[in-house]
Amino acid sequence: MKKQSEKIVQNSEIHPLEPFIPNGAKVLMLGSFPPKREKWSMEFYYPNWQNDMWRIFGIVFFNDKNFFVEPRQKKFREEAIRQFLIEKKIAVSDTAREVVRLQDNASDKYLNIVAPVDLSQLLRQIPMCRAILTTGQKACETAASLLGAAVPGVGQHSSCIFEQHQIVLYRMPSSSRAYPLALDKKAEIYCQMFTELDLL
């Protein structure tokens, strides 16, 4: 067991991005872990061109799935995304700081989390945070475990007290195209959540 554990750590990856924390952020969005760098189209969260997170945001907030897209270059408009998140006071990070990929892909199913994010430290940097939205099952289960919260169903939320602060934990459908739900249906679920959070 010890040798196996050492092997896992030796093959692990450290998260390549720092948390994105706008001043006065009220909401924290947590995924699991980025894909391998060759899949990146920008130096930011959800960088894979085949991932639909920023298309979902485009639909929800601008009724345009391509609002954050540079289609001729097959990349996302990183600065526009950053500015939007600053305006909406949405922080972004991931639930894992160190992982081992059990297969050579970005699937959560094959991610072994060696070290989760230090959620206490992260939330101390976001003192006004009132809600955490998780973008997939693994992210939600990891966050719920760290918070001591119940794991809600997809599109649902649970509440807990974490270090004397009330936090609402949302579980959103994954923005990966491997998740079996149409883009417009995913956007509807995100729209409902952002409406409940008074961000729409």
Encode 77-109 in three state secondary structure: CHHHHHHHHHHHCEEEEECEEEEEECCCCCCHH
Three-state secondary structure call for residue 56: helix
The Cα–Cα gap between 84 and 81 comes to: 5
Average pLDDT for 170-183? 95
Task: Tell me the one-letter amino acid at 168.
Answer: V
10 pLDDT band, cuts 50/70/90, is: low
Helix/strand number for the chain, H first, E second: 6, 10
8 A C-beta contact, residue 146 and residue 125: no
Torsion sign (Cα): 192, 195, 199, 200: positive
CB 52 within 8 A of CB 76: no
49, pLDDT greater than 60: yes
Beta strands 27-31; 69-70: pairing state: unpaired
Q: What is the pLDDT of residue 29?
A: 98
pLDDT above 60 for 3: no
pLDDT for the residue 120: 95
How confident is the model over 89-125, as pLDDT tens digits? 999 999 999 988 877 766 667 677 889 999 999 999 9
Neighbour tally for 118: CB within 10 Å:
11
- pLDDT of residue 159 exceeding 80, the answer is yes
Per-chain mean pLDDT for the chain: 91
CATH code for the structural domain at 2-196: 3.40.470.10
pLDDT for 191 beyond 90: yes
Strands of the chain (E only): list them: 13-14, 27-31, 69-70, 75-76, 90-94, 96-101, 111-116, 131-135, 157-162, 165-172
Tokens of 82: 């950053």
